[in-house]
Amino acid sequence: MTRNYSVCGSHPHLVLCSADKDKISRLITKLEYKGIDFAIFREPDMDNEMTAIATIPINGNDRKIFKGFKLLGKEKV
């Protein structure tokens, strides 16, 4: 999705966050309310279930919409 948008002055970063379906659904509601464009990813082999979303590059105060999301990282073994 980021290929569709140009970012002036900086390179967009990909940030992966962990969330369940309910949290993703609540985020979608907030994104729609704020008018932030996004794309939904669905898994065909899981009855077309929503598994992820991607947004346009986010700057400034709009980044606060992701507050409370846990960054996806290496799991400790």
Domains of the chain, residue spans = 2-6+14-71
Q: Whole-prediction pTM value?
A: 0.72
Q: Under 8 Å CB-to-CB from 56, ≥6 apart: which residues?
A: 1, 2, 4, 5, 36, 37, 38
**Predicted pLDDT at 21:** 86
Mean pLDDT of the region 19-31: 90
Residues 6+ apart with CB under 8 A from 68: none
pLDDT-above-90 percentage for the chain: 22
Interatomic CA distance for residues 72 and 67, integer angstroms: 14
The model's pLDDT over 34-64, given as tens digits with 9 standing for 90+, comes to: 999 999 989 999 999 888 888 888 888 888 8
Question: For the chain, what is the mean pLDDT?
Answer: 80
